[in-house]
Structure 1
Amino acid sequence: MEYASLPPGQLTTSTAALACGVAPATIRDWVRRGLLDRCGGTPKRPIYSLAAILAARDAPKPSRPGQRSADHPA
């Protein structure tokens, strides 16, 4: 169950993903990689601030060894 309503500027994982045009798994990955911090909620239903979501979206993403990059297609 999602939250009935949130204060302005706060998003759930699903709404954060919609705002950034990515999958919810990407939002969880940004948290795991340290690019995004939760601002509240519960462990199963985290809440993020809009400013933090947008900063994570625009942050340079670290690459992993063997990962293809957009400028070097296979």
Structure 2
Amino acid sequence: MEFIVPPRGTFTTDLAAFSCGVKPATIRDWVRRGLLTRCGGTPRRPLYRAEDVEAARYAAKPSRPGQRAA
């Protein structure tokens, strides 16, 4: 199900990425790492709470050996 406008207080992957200034792949990576959780939608079109997206944006990201400095 594709939302033209997601429900109030939620973001699609693309909107979450746009609000954080990152690529959609970064949002999916945050989900994989456990920094962000889905609040609904479908497996192909997840939704995220706006508060959770902002918290993930400013959360301390784990560093890995050999990772590029931002």
Structure 2: gaps (5+ residues) = none
2:64 corresponds to which letter in structure 1?
R
Match of 2:16 in 1: 16
The whole-number CA distance in structure 2 between the counterparts of 1:43 and 1:2 is: 12
**TM-score under structure 2 normalisation?**
0.91
SS at match of 2:36: coil
- The number of equivalent residue pairs is 70
Runs of at least 4 residues off by over 6 Å: none
Offset from partner CA, 1:4-46 (integer Å, 9 cap, x none) = 3322110000000010110000000000011000000111100
The TM-score with structure 1 as length reference comes to 0.86
Match of 1:49 in 2: 49
CA distance in 2, matches of 1:66, 1:55: 26
Q: Structure 1 unaligned runs (5+)?
A: none
Counterpart of 1:52, as a letter, is D
Separation in structure 2 between the aligned mates of residue 5 and residue 66 of structure 1, nearest angstrom: 40
Q: Select the structure of larger CA radius of gyration.
A: 1
Mapped partners of 2:22, 2:4: distance in 1: 23
User: What secondary structure sits across from 1:37 in the alignment?
Assistant: coil
1:34 is the counterpart of 2:34: yes
